[in-house]
Structure 1
Amino acid sequence: MNKSGDLETVSLAEIINELKGYRRFLLLNAIFWLGLASLYIARTPNEYSATASVVLTPTRIASSSQGSTLGSVIVQLDNSQAESQIQVLKSERNLQSVFEQYKEEINPAEAIEKKSEPSGIFLNLLRQKAETKEKSIDRNAQLFQQFSDKVSVRRVGASYVLELSYRASSPELAAKVANSIVLQYLLSQIELKAAATEKGGEFLQTRILDIQKQRTTVKEGIRAGTIPAAIFPDADAQIIGAATIPTRKSWPLTGLTLMFSLALSSSLGLFAIAVKNSLYPTIKSASSMKRHLGLLCLTYINRKDIGLRNWRSLRLKELSTSAPSSEINRRWIAAIANVKQIVLSKNKRMNGKIICVLPMNKGLEHAAISFMLARMIAASGKNVLLVDCDHEEASLTGVIAPEAVTGLYDLSGTSHLENQSALKLVTDRLKFLPSRAFKAEFNRDVDISSELYSAIIGSVKDIDITIACLPKYNTIAGLTVAAPFIEDVIVIFDAGITPMHQARDYITLLSSYNCKFLGGVLIN
């Protein structure tokens, strides 16, 4: 809600501009989360998944009506029986023999430890056999559990096709173990048929030899980890797809992990910005200045255009020149020219008008703006007095008149400017009144906006307009003392820094003293 009680509407352009102000935070946040994701990917062991497919084709052994011959009868499966075969594939009975065969490849660290284990009479005396055996059993059970957790079986839709997958750190090992597990499943089916055949009424030697051959072929395939090129008619399932060596890892998923971390960083970053803006609202744009404070934004200045990093040397004087030497200076001069036009248009009859430049945050920008504005108005043919009212910083004094031996503070014992030597002539139409003797001590408790100081400023003759560079008031009480002597004011805001509540309090206080607001300058 704005100050009139109406519901605020924020445009898409304002949201984009707001996010631009946080681009460094969002970038660092994204780099942090992407770095964590990259570290996770680098530290997580690669896993490869290989899949073998089997189709269930159950049969049962049945004898002829005379009981002399054996035959196979196709059995119809229902859904519950198909689902039960998934548990058979994952059962301990089916996995145990494959685990024992590939144990050293699956857990190489265990194999190395076993091979390098020292033996000797002394060591055997120190160890308790019962304890060692118990630990070995527990460790073996733990390794088998880890092995079985990497096995997964799923049914393909409503069909009788089952897909068995195994995850391993090596692509070759993943394919070998997956193939061996499905072959072990076929072997168990063949052995059941062999037992049924041997119990038949008639002992068929040819039939037994055929089953033995299937057994041998399957066992060789289990040892090699490959699917033999043979058909196993006595198994209740047939392999329709052997596990091949995977060409890329199945975990961790690099692309998905990075995308997730980027989405997470964006979500957390936007959430943090939303929380900050709701708990600590600030002046962010010209439209927010107009909505919340009712002030016209005179101009928008990029802090880089001011370039105050070395301003105590020649930078401020360079900014005040009328001939721009670079694109940055041209933008800076154009911004202040907008302020000058508004000041002159609203004050056609000067008559010693005092315009105060009030900063809402600490910094040197308001001093540079005051100097440049005074210089431009003087260049338009007006007699201008520039006053440094910031006793604490004395920024303008330090640049324009660092050799000053007296100033506004030092003249506090008189009600008018008797000694014109305190003034420094900057140009033919621009005079400067320093804040104080730049290198002298001063009393910070003496307020610069008293009636006495207003009389001193007003005593300077032949002045059309006075630009007073005010300090940053840390409390509302300090501004309360100065408010009665402020006529026209230009407020300087730092975009995204100036607190909304503080700006409202200051504007409300100055409005109560009938101060005239020329507008605000937004610095980013």
Structure 2
Amino acid sequence: MNYTTKILRPDDSHDGPLAGLDRIDLGEPGHESETTLIGDLIAAIRRHAQALALWVLLCTAAGIAYVAITQPEFVAAAQIALEPRVRLPPGADAAAAAAATVPALDSAQAESQVQVIRSARNLRYVFDTLGLDADPAYAAKGPSLLGRTVGLLSALVPFLSAPPLSPEEAAMRAREIAFQNFSDRVQVKRLGQSYVLEVSFRGLTPRDAARLTNTIAAAYIRDQVLVRAASDQRGTEFLQGRIALIQAQKKAADEAVATGVITDFQFPDSDARIVGAALRPLAAAYPQTKLILLLGAVFGLVSGVGCIAVLHSFDRTVRSPAQIRRMLGIDCFPVPRYREGRLTETSALGRPESDFALALRRLRTVLFAVGGEDRYITIGLLACHAEAGCTALSANLACLLSASSDRVLLVDADLREPELTRRFAPRAADGLEGLVLSPANGAELPEVALAASLSFVPAVAAGRTANPNAFLGAHAMRAALARVNGKRDILLDLPPLDASSDAQAIGHMLTGIVLVASLNRTKLDQLSDAIRALHSARCRVLGIVLNDPVQARRARRHVRASAS
């Protein structure tokens, strides 16, 4: 017999009332933020807080490792002030000198001098004078992993490999690479809107940083002196005094380039002067330890949160009651974790002040409310999969019902995993299995009295294993259930849907079915499929109880230990 021939959505219209807990507002005040995606994302971040913290620490540790293995670099800077000089023709007298005006300097000329300092001509002079082509700090580095891979592939494919270089070409290439590495370490910038230029060099040692910075600045002054000398030599008169002065300035500039030390020598024929020589830096400028550590921590935090957000978008696991309400359109009743010790079948009665007991008492009130005008209710607790805590909830809820009702019947309808039977009636002489396999329709439910107001129907007799062909939808079972319906409060611990579809066979005879889901374990698709299957069998779904899977597994182990 097929009880799932029709597939329905939870919000589809039905013939007859199928309303359950989704008609009653069980939302607690202050939980409105949980209904938003941001609230779910924050909850996901809290769940993965330890992994996120570990990832941030790993990224920070990677930053520390990078700082530890990176070669420190030092930056020294020198300042050059642009001061255009008055240019007088050879033989000019004092009157002409007094009447001359200083040439104006605009921003475009200042920016052009930045490029002059960084020009290949200026830097090449420094590079050649100091013989930096032989310095290993600027020599060509070995090929990277990608370069070695490309080289290996090129060697395997002859027509892709480049022709070998001659010794002269190889030396020239190495020299150009060294010059490029050197020039990449030079920086020149204009300080604000002033006519002061700052020349800086990034060296591997404080001495090299200061020396090469001063050398580059002196080379620029030398170039200015040579330009002035060439202009004067083209004049109609050439004064020997001017020649001697210019030669002295050129010699001083050459010495500064060679030694990297700026002296107090004045360069009157240069349109610029060095106002601040480079000093040896006291601390490394690179790597920037604080910035790298901050970036590592920020990267770890952002990437970790992003990864959590991506995983959350694909996660179909039940994480909160609000998620069930939003995704399935049915209300969810949360049952908090039992924190007062080990969860047993009587914890709700033994610890009435616990949050667990309070939640079950609220659930009891709601179940009586959905029963309408009927004096007694028949409720089935059903899980989508095993170890959802359905058995422990059924036992505790039955104990609570018996405390406020004169007649309560707890039925262990899980024939294949009779956990309640192992706990309450391990030596039962008869069980529900015998009833469903009986050909007679007049047999009664085999009850065992547990208390004055609580009776129990075991699933199997002592020492027996349920027949796989036993079916709760048998005529004898439905007849026996119909005879006790409306005469007492009945609570059935039904087999999970992933193991049996028996719940669909008798669900229409009950006041309603309460689905039990495990927090952080049950999938939304499982709940959606369960609701469709139950509705197709004309079962009334009252709502979903969200249980804690940790406590459910502990209770299951405790039941088996007690039975043994």
Q: What is the percent sequence identity of the aligned residues? A: 26
Unaligned residue ranges in structure 2 (runs of 5+): 1-9, 14-30, 143-164, 549-564
Moved more, 447-456 or 473-482: 473-482
**Change over 3 Å in CA distance of 1:146–1:453 after alignment to 2:** farther
Distance 1:260 1:199 in 2: 63
- In the TM superposition, what is the alpha-carbon distance from 1:55 to its structure 2 partner? 2.5
Corresponding residue of 1:507: 531
Corresponding residue of 2:225: 190
Asked if the contact 1:54–1:162 (Cα under 8 Å) also holds between the matched residues in 2, the reply is: yes
Asked if the contact 2:80–2:272 (Cα under 8 Å) also holds between the matched residues in 1, the reply is: yes
Moved more, 289-298 or 386-395: 289-298
**Change over 3 Å in CA distance of 1:405–1:180 after alignment to 2:** farther
TM-score normalized by the length of structure 1: 0.76
**Change over 3 Å in CA distance of 1:261–1:48 after alignment to 2:** farther
> Which amino acid in 1 is paired with 2:402?
A
1:432-479 Cα shifts (integer Å, max 9, x gaps): 223335764444454434443344456679972111112221399766
1:301 pairs, out of 335, 342, 345, with 335
Asked if the contact 2:375–2:486 (Cα under 8 Å) also holds between the matched residues in 1, the reply is: no
- In the TM superposition, what is the alpha-carbon distance from 1:161 to its structure 2 partner? 2.8
Corresponding residue of 2:240: 204
Matches within 5 A, 1:426-437: 426-436=450-460
Distance 1:62 1:51 in 2: 34
2:307 pairs, out of 253, 262, 269, with 269
1:168 pairs, out of 194, 203, 211, with 203
Asked if the contact 1:64–1:70 (Cα under 8 Å) also holds between the matched residues in 2, the reply is: no
- In the TM superposition, what is the alpha-carbon distance from 1:267 to its structure 2 partner? 5.6
Matches within 5 A, 1:402-417: 402-403=426-427, 406-414=430-438, 415=440
Asked if the contact 1:175–1:246 (Cα under 8 Å) also holds between the matched residues in 2, the reply is: no
> Which amino acid in 2 is paired with 1:520?
I
> Which amino acid in 2 is paired with 1:335?
A
1:383 aligns with 2:407: yes
1:134-171 Cα shifts (integer Å, max 9, x gaps): 33332222122122122222334444332333333445
> Which amino acid in 2 is paired with 1:163?
E
1:96 pairs, out of 108, 111, 124, with 124
- In the TM superposition, what is the alpha-carbon distance from 1:68 to its structure 2 partner? 12
Corresponding residue of 1:12: 33
Distance 1:172 1:427 in 2: 93
Corresponding residue of 1:107: 136
Corresponding residue of 2:496: 472
Asked if the contact 1:360–1:494 (Cα under 8 Å) also holds between the matched residues in 2, the reply is: no
Corresponding residue of 2:88: 62
1:150 pairs, out of 176, 185, 210, with 185
Corresponding residue of 1:367: 391
Aligned-residue Cα RMSD (Å) equals: 4.4
Corresponding residue of 1:119: none
> Which amino acid in 1 is paired with 2:302?
L
1:357 aligns with 2:374: no
- In the TM superposition, what is the alpha-carbon distance from 1:84 to its structure 2 partner? 2.7
Higher relative contact order (CA 8 A, sep 6+): 2
1:24 aligns with 2:47: yes
**Change over 3 Å in CA distance of 1:477–1:489 after alignment to 2:** closer
Asked if the contact 2:449–2:456 (Cα under 8 Å) also holds between the matched residues in 1, the reply is: yes
Matches within 5 A, 1:67-82: 74-82=102-110
**Change over 3 Å in CA distance of 1:506–1:211 after alignment to 2:** same
Moved more, 45-54 or 182-191: 45-54
1:42 aligns with 2:72: no
> Which amino acid in 2 is paired with 1:84?
S
> Which amino acid in 2 is paired with 1:54?
I
Asked if the contact 1:62–1:73 (Cα under 8 Å) also holds between the matched residues in 2, the reply is: no
**Change over 3 Å in CA distance of 1:447–1:106 after alignment to 2:** farther
1:19-77 Cα shifts (integer Å, max 9, x gaps): 21442336525643662464255236244444333222234753246699998974334
Unaligned residue ranges in structure 1 (runs of 5+): 114-129, 308-313
